[in-house]
Amino acid sequence: MHIHRLKITIAALALLALLMAACGGSSTTPSKPTPPPTPTPGEGQQLLAKASKALTSARTMYAIFNIAIAGPTINGTLKTEVWNEQPDKNRTVVLDSTISQFPSGETTVTDGKQVWEYIPSRQVVYNGPVTTSSSGTPTSGSGSGAGQSLLIIRIVQSILTNSQATLVSSSASANGHAAYDIHITPKGQSTGANPQRFNYDGDVFLDKTTNLPLRVILNIQGLGKITLDAPQLTLNQPIDEKLFTFTPPPGVTVKPFPTQGPETGTLTLQQAEQQAGYHLLSIPASQTDYRLLSVDALGAPGNQVYTLNYQYKDNTSFSITEGKALANLPTSGTSVKVRGTNGTISSVGNTNTLTWTENGVGIQIAGPLSNQQLLAIAQMLT
């Protein structure tokens, strides 16, 4: 996926991109917390695991998502239509929005080789090549796109796989369908000096026939209440390949994606550190086998997460993502020792992710790398 204002592969990820914008540093507690449900955790956990497996293994997806956010920093609604075909084809259209980050009419398309982003309000189409890493993750021509999209995907995976799930009701209803109501909270965090920062509770409504999500309601510390409705969600059905190509409308200017500046959100490492207010770990310039391609910021000022996009000499692309909002993010996988503390290595497809917290900052290294390569890169960071 392309970093230059490219919207995320599925609209559910848009929800979590906004979630990350505010969940890191605020001490505001969620309003109107969900009452504790009657415990039936075994069945709820199994249902959530089935839903997670269905979504992550789907070959194709078509969906319409309605997202509503009500909180102290962000308020608005977003409606998107999404077509997705693994591993690297996507079309996302913002049908309606009151959130400035996602203007109505914006369309992003990638066929795995090129990416187009049409911004009607500017009468411009940005276009550029896509480089696919060995992990199957499409990136921009500069290789800078993997970081944020992988970050968001990891957050989604974390919620689906690391939530404590409790079945509240087997006779609920959502979007006109019979549904299971499953209450979710973060599982117990790993031990450490820093408190759990990613704090949420809420409910997932699963269709009793398809076991797919119909509605997700989350109360998130520092952000407020987020409601995601999926009135349409279809997996593994054929998608017309023409949807993954784009012809610019007549009279619209076609430009290459900008490489740096306010339109891209791309920063220098020094600018990112000044903005963050703390030191960002990076690979020393003396390690000439590694090239820093870009530095990107995700989130609202004061709660941002920074992604350093690198390329190894064999053209392997990987990212280093760090921020206080990621401190002690619940993860599952293989426990390892890294830089004198506890870390976790997890896998999604061919992408491995090393996660740990250091000096109150959560750090993730992700890419088509072996466990040994991840640990070696972590040790060289300064």
Query: Could you tell me the pTM of the whole model?
Result: 0.61
In this structure, the answer to whether residues 136 and 236 fall within a common structural domain is yes
In this structure, the answer to whether residues 222 and 271 fall within a common structural domain is no
- For residue 254, being part of any structural domain is answered with no
In this structure, the answer to whether residues 226 and 322 fall within a common structural domain is no
In this structure, the answer to whether residues 49 and 158 fall within a common structural domain is yes
Which residue shows structure tokens 């993750």?
A: 137
Q: Are strands 253-256 and 124-132 parallel, antiparallel or unpaired?
A: parallel
Of 45-54, 259-268, 359-368, least confident by mean pLDDT is 259-268
106-148 per-position pLDDT tens digit: 888 888 888 888 888 888 888 887 644 333 344 443 333 333 3
In this structure, the answer to whether residues 153 and 119 fall within a common structural domain is yes
Domain CATH code at residue 323: 3.30.200.100
- For residue 2, being part of any structural domain is answered with no
Cβ-contact 162, 184 below 8 angstroms = no
- For residue 247, being part of any structural domain is answered with no
In this structure, the answer to whether residues 123 and 25 fall within a common structural domain is yes
- For residue 68, being part of any structural domain is answered with yes
Domain CATH code at residue 140: 2.50.20.10
Give the model's pLDDT for residue 47: 92
- For residue 249, being part of any structural domain is answered with no
Four-CA torsion 22, 360, 216, 350, nearest 10 degrees: 120
The number of folded domains in the chain is 2
In this structure, the answer to whether residues 357 and 236 fall within a common structural domain is no
Q: Which residue among 226, 241, 256 closes a domain? A: 241
Whether the predicted pLDDT of 201 surpasses 80: yes
* pLDDT above 70 as % of the chain: 69
- For residue 297, being part of any structural domain is answered with yes
In this structure, the answer to whether residues 313 and 230 fall within a common structural domain is no
- Mean pLDDT taken over the chain: 75
Whether the predicted pLDDT of 176 surpasses 60: yes
d(CA 273, CA 308): 12
State the pLDDT confidence band at 172, using cuts at 50, 70 and 90: very high
State the pLDDT confidence band at 222, using cuts at 50, 70 and 90: low
Helix (H, G, I), strand (E, B) or coil at 351: strand
211: domain range? 11-241
In this structure, the answer to whether residues 191 and 86 fall within a common structural domain is yes
Cβ-contact 135, 367 below 8 angstroms = yes
125-139, 141-155, 290-304, 310-324: which has the highest mean pLDDT? Answer: 310-324
In this structure, the answer to whether residues 156 and 199 fall within a common structural domain is yes
